């Protein structure tokens, strides 16, 4: 079941085409990674989803029906460029932002107080924002993003500016939101967090989606029959052991073992790699190499369709 | 709709709670009160003697003009044409001309002068003439009563029937003998003051809008907010909120200035104020006996020295019209300009970059202030007319003209055009604003703005 879909979204700016027939499908209760190099069009797409700007063409569906202006109340957005009014007190400001999302005064106060306690910043309620550390400001921003318990949460580079401890806190909180039923769109350059959090991704490059789907499926597609074999006690030259069609991509060793990473031709199986080693050495391990998101990203972007034509 | 109210509320409350707002609210009236009180104070000490010639064709009043510390009167026996010529030559301050009447008692006079006519002289002439005419009327009534024609006697009826208003026209005579309408200093001062106040208010609160937009941009909160409300709502919320701050400040100024002026003048000239107050109390309660009516005329007549006259002149100003039109022209002018200020705030990244855009939009305002001195000299001229109609200059220029009296048609035309102008600037501003607030780190020029405008 898809909570949100964007269908064939196109957006032109004065100088360039920001989005070209972009479609994404965000399954309910998933963490959806929106990836792409700088300037690919991610922020434009996110702003369109938040109805901050309007697409030139295309359809946006939330829960299977057309996205409406009132839907901003079911979306929580933490922008990449984010801040707070410096001269306002933390409490006033949080109340203001919560009420702009449609919460009543009482409801906003009740929810904010409990979240402020949870995030251990309740003591700062009456302080001015400019007195807060950056990490604390980020906590306030995160709280007001989720305060109205939106069905769809959009985080644009949420981890930038967080120290590792707070980044971890944030990560756990994102997972907790998913647990509670929220669907999350996560736009980031941080591939480690994609690896950890996302179950679906879409990769945008030069205004187009060049890769999308469940992470596991994408990884399966990007596997290229590569294995790392660990062994010891090889009696002959390595090149006589491995068939010529096999390609060695990496080797390493520790005091007791040798490791060799080998890419096999398409028709070969790991057994074809294992057999010659079994005859000449003692095999300790054999492991399939699953491509990292980082590698997939680089590969997709560098070999992807470079169809970028600047508009005049 | 609820959201825009939240925005207005925040914009309003954060500003009125600021220390600078409170300081301005207290300082403003002190300055304004000083502007009112100091001339009053000075007027009490002015003792330059001015010579005034009187050409009284009725022969009823000349004897009643008494020389004072400020004026020396002398009678002229000639016709009006040569008297006017004589005025330029003789160097007299003014010529009072009371034309002959056929049937009725005289009810008007013309004061010719080379400069603007002193307000004291005007009201003195008015007082002398009305007292004299009322006396004549009263005598006639008494005569009627004595000859038994008009019984029974109703005193309040009589008093009402003798009440007289005298029209005073003031005309300016040029070196070459040409005549033009003359205006009193109080109208000029008031026009100038209102014009400058509008100018300051538009500037002050317009740039507050701009700074507010820049603050939202540099603090990076704007994107969070526009994910909840439309950029247009945010912009209008800010403009309205800041406008209400301006309105609050103005209202507080009016009230506090009134309190200070009343307080200070009461301490400077306590007995004169008392006279005046008694006079007014008597005026409002219909006098029941001729004795009371006597004391009324005395109270008004004897206070010929400066203080009371200036106070009377100030009281003679139509404050409801002044304040009403000030509120309209301030609000509409502010809305027109603040939309442009908001667009500038949205287009730039910091206050340093605003200069190139602020200059062109403030030129009309500054021009209006430069023209002000010509407009108070000739408030009905074509220069005054056109600049009080064109929306960019009309808030200031029309406000300068209002104290002199402006035909309703012109006021309404000016108001309608100003409202249209405000709708146009808001429409333009909204387009620039909504593109600009999401652009960071980009130097914007006019070409770029034009693109945003066409695209939005």
SS (H, E, C) A17-41: EEEEEEEEEEECCCEEEEECCCCCC
A42 and A99 inside one domain: yes
CB contact A308 to B (< 8 Å): no
Residue B292 near residue B156 (C-beta atoms within 8 A) = no
CATH number of the CATH domain containing A251: 3.30.70.80
> With an 8 Å Cβ cutoff, is A75 touching chain B?
yes
Contact A47 B228 (CB under 8 A): no
Residues A21 and A39 both lie in one domain:
yes
pLDDT digits (tens, 9 = 90+) for B435-456: 888 887 777 888 888 888 876 6
Claim to verify: residue A176 and residue A249 sit in the same structural domain: no
**Spatial separation of the C-alpha atoms in residues B215 and A122, rounded to whole Å:** 26
The stretch A234-242 carries a mean pLDDT of 81
Domain-ending residue, one of A201, A220, A239: A220
- A116 in the same domain as A75: yes
CB contact, 8 Å: A77 with chain B? Answer: yes
- Considering the domain architecture, whether residues A41 and A182 belong to the same structural domain is answered as yes
Q: Determine which of A155-169, B226-240, B333-347 has the lowest per-residue pLDDT on average.
A: A155-169
Residue A294 belongs to a domain: no
Which tokens hold the place of A59? 């359809």
A9-24, pLDDT tens digit by residue?
999 887 788 899 999 9
- Answer whether B226 touches A (CB < 8 Å): yes
- Give the pLDDT score at B282: 41
Structural domain count, chain A: 2
What average pLDDT is seen over chain B? 80
User: Of A53, A78, A85, which is closest to B221 when you measure between CB atoms?
Assistant: A85
Question: Which single residue is written with the structure tokens 């100038």?
Answer: B192
Say yes or no: B6 contacts chain A, CB-CB below 8 A.
yes
Mean pLDDT of all residues in A65-84: 89
pTM of the model: 0.75
Task: Tell me, yes or no, whether A311 lies in a domain.
Answer: no
Does position B283 have pLDDT exceeding 50, yes or no?
A: no
CATH of segment(s) B49-182: 3.40.190.10
Q: Looking at the predicted structure, is the pLDDT value of residue B280 above 50?
A: no
Q: Which of A85, A87, A105, A146 to mutate to test the interface with B (most CBs of B within 10 A)?
A: A85
Share of residues in chain A with pLDDT > 90 (%): 38
In this structure, the answer to whether residues A173 and A93 fall within a common structural domain is: yes
pLDDT of residue A61: 93
Band of the pLDDT at B276, cuts 50, 70, 90?
Answer: very low
Identify which of B108-117, B153-162, B265-274, B390-399 has the greatest average pLDDT. Answer: B390-399
Residue among A17, A45, A48, A52 with most chain B CBs within 10 A, to mutate: A52
- In angstroms, the separation between the Cα of residue B456 and the nearest Cα of chain A is 10
Q: A202 - beta bridge partners? A: A34, A212
* In a shared domain, residues A228 and A115: no
Question: Looking at the structure, do residues A94 and A154 belong to the same domain, yes or no?
Answer: yes
Same-domain check for residues A53 and A177:
yes
pLDDT over 70 for what percent of chain A? 97
Distance CA B215, CA B221 (A): 9
The chain-wide mean pLDDT, for chain A, equals 87
For residue B413, pLDDT over 80 is answered with: yes
Q: Quick one: CA dihedral B103, B106, B108, B110, positive or negative?
A: positive
Mean pLDDT over B116-135 rounds to: 81
> A231 and A208, same structural domain?
no
**DSSP H or E run through B171:** strand B167-173
User: In angstroms, rounded to a whole number, what is the distance separating the alpha carbons of residues A78 and B224?
Assistant: 7
Domain boundary among A173, A197, A220: A220
Q: Which chain B residues touch A81 with a CB distance below 8 Å?
A: 220, 223, 440
Decide if A228 is inside a domain: yes
Note the pLDDT tens digit of each residue in A82-116: 889 988 899 999 999 999 998 999 999 999 999 99
| Lowest mean pLDDT segment, chosen from A58-67, B42-51, B392-401 | B42-51
Determine, yes or no, domain membership for A305: no
Q: Which residue has the higher pLDDT, A81 or B432?
A: B432
A301 part of a folded domain: no
Written as six digits, the tokens of A75 are: 């979306």
Location of each CATH 3.40.190.10 domain in chain B: 49-182
pLDDT of A262 higher than 80: yes
> Is residue B414 a contact partner of residue B389, using CB atoms and an 8 Å limit?
yes
The tens digit of pLDDT for each residue in A187-211 reads: 988 888 888 899 999 999 888 998 8
- Position B79 pLDDT exceeds 70: yes
What pLDDT, on the 0 to 100 scale, is given for residue B183?
62
Compare B365 and B304 and report the one with higher pLDDT: B365
Classify the C-alpha dihedral A193-A196-A199-A205 as positive or negative: positive
Which B residues 432-451 touch A at CB under 8 Å?
434, 438, 440, 451
**Interface touch B227/A84, C-beta < 8 Å:** no
Instruction: Show residues of chain A in contact with B227, CB under 8 Å.
Output: 50-52, 72, 75, 77, 79
How far is residue B44's CA from residue B47's CA, in Å, rounded to a whole number?
8
The reply to whether ipTM tops 0.90 is no
Q: Give the residue-averaged pLDDT of B365-371.
A: 90
Same domain for A161 and A259, yes or no, is: no
pLDDT at residue B380 tops 90: no
Residue A138 in contact with partner chain B when CB distance is under 8 A: no
Which DSSP string corresponds to A176-229?
HHHHTT-EEEEE-S-HHHHHHH-SEEEEEETTEEEEEEEHHHHHHHH--SEEEE
To the nearest whole Å, the CA of A194 is away from the closest chain B CA by 24
**Per the domain annotation, does A297 fall within a domain?**
no
Quick one: A42 and A93 in the same domain?
Answer: yes
- Long-range contacts (CB closer than 8 Å, 24 or more residues apart) made by B23-29: B24/B249, B25/B249, B25/B252, B25/B253, B25/B256, B26/B256, B28/B249, B28/B253, B28/B256, B28/B257, B29/B252, B29/B253, B29/B256, B29/B257, B29/B259, B29/B260
**Residue A138's pLDDT band (cuts 50, 70, 90):** confident
Residues of chain B with pLDDT > 90, as a percent, come to 21
Predicted pLDDT at B179: 67
Domain extent for A268: 224-289
């Amino acid at each position: 079941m898809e909570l949100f879909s964007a269908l064939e979204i196109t957006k032109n700016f004065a100088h360039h085409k920001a989005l070209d027939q972009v479609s994404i499908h965000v399954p309910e209760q998933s963490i959806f990674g929106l990836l792409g190099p700088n300037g690919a069009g991610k922020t434009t797409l996110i702003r369109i989803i938040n109805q901050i700007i309007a697409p030139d063409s295309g359809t946006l569906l939330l829960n299977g029906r057309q996205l409406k202006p009132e839907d901003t109340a079911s979306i929580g957005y933490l922008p990449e460029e984010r801040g707070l009014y410096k001269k306002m007190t933390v409490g006033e400001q949080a109340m203001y932002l919560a009420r702009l999302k449609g919460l009543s005064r009482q409801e906003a106060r009740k929810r904010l107080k409990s979240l402020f306690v949870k995030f251990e910043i309740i003591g700062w309620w009456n302080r001015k924002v400019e007195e807060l550390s950056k990490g604390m400001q980020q906590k306030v921003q995160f709280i007001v993003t989720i305060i109205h318990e939106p069905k769809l949460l959009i985080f644009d580079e949420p981890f930038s500016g967080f120290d590792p401890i707070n980044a971890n806190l944030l990560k756990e909180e994102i997972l907790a939101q998913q647990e509670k039923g929220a669907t999350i769109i996560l736009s980031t350059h941080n591939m480690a967090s994609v690896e950890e959090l996302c179950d679906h991704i879409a990769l945008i490059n030069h205004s187009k989606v060049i890769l999308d789907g469940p992470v596991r499926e994408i990884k399966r597609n990007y596997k290229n029959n590569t294995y790392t074999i660990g062994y010891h006690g090889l009696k002959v030259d390595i090149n006589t052991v491995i068939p010529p069609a096999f390609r060695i991509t990496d080797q390493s060793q520790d005091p007791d073992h040798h490791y060799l990473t080998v890419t096999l031709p398409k028709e070969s199986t790991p057994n074809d790699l294992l057999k010659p080693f079994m005859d000449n050495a003692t095999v300790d391990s054999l492991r399939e190499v699953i491509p990292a998101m980082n590698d997939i990203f680089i590969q997709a972007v560098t070999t992807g369709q470079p169809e970028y034509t600047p508009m005049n | 709709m609820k959201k825009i109210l939240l925005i207005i509320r925040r914009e309003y409350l954060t500003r009125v709670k600021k220390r600078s707002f409170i300081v301005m609210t207290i300082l403003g009236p002190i300055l304004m009160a000083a502007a009112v009180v100091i001339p009053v104070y000075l007027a009490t000490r002015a003792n330059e003697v001015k010579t005034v010639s009187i050409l009284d064709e009725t022969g009823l009043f000349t004897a009643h003009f008494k020389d004072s510390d400020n004026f020396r009167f002398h009678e002229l026996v000639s016709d009006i044409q040569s008297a006017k010529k004589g005025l330029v030559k003789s160097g007299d301050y003014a010529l009072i001309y009371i034309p002959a009447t056929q049937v009725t008692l005289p009810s008007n006079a013309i004061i010719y002068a080379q400069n603007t006519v002193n307000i004291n002289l005007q009201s003195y002439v008015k007082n002398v003439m009305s007292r004299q005419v009322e006396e004549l009327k009263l005598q006639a009534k008494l005569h009627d009563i004595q000859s038994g024609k008009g019984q029974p006697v109703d005193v309040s009826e009589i008093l009402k029937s003798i009440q007289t208003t005298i029209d005073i026209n003031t005309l300016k005579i040029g070196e070459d003998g040409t005549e033009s309408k003359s205006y009193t200093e109080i109208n000029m001062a008031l026009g100038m003051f209102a014009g400058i106040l509008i100018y300051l208010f538009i500037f002050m609160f317009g740039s507050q809008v701009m700074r507010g937009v820049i603050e939202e941009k540099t603090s990076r909160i704007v994107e969070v907010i526009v994910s909840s409300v439309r950029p247009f709502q945010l912009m209008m919320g800010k403009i309205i909120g800041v406008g209400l701050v301006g309105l609050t400040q103005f209202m507080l100024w009016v009230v506090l200035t009134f309190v200070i002026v009343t307080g200070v003048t009461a301490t400077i000239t306590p007995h004169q104020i008392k006279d005046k107050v008694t006079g007014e109390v008597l005026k409002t309660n219909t006098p029941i006996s001729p004795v009371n009516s006597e004391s009324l005329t005395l109270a008004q007549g004897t206070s010929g020295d400066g203080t009371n006259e200036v106070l009377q002149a100030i009281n003679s100003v139509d404050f409801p019209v002044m304040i009403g039109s000030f509120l309209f022209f301030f609000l509409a002018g502010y809305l027109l300009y603040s939309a442009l200020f908001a667009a500038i705030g949205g287009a730039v990244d910091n206050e340093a970059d605003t200069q190139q855009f602020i200059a062109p939009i403030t030129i009309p305002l500054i021009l209006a202030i430069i023209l002000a001195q010509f407009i108070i000299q000739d408030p009905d001229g074509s220069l005054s007319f056109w600049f009080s109609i064109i929306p960019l200059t009309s808030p200031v220029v029309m406000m300068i003209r209002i104290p002199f009296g402006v035909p309703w048609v012109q006021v309404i035309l000016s108001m309608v055009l100003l409202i249209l102008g405000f709708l146009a600037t808001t429409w333009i501003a909204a387009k620039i604003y909504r593109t600009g607030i999401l652009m960071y780190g980009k130097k914007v020029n006019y070409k770029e703005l034009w693109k945003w405008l066409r695209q939005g």
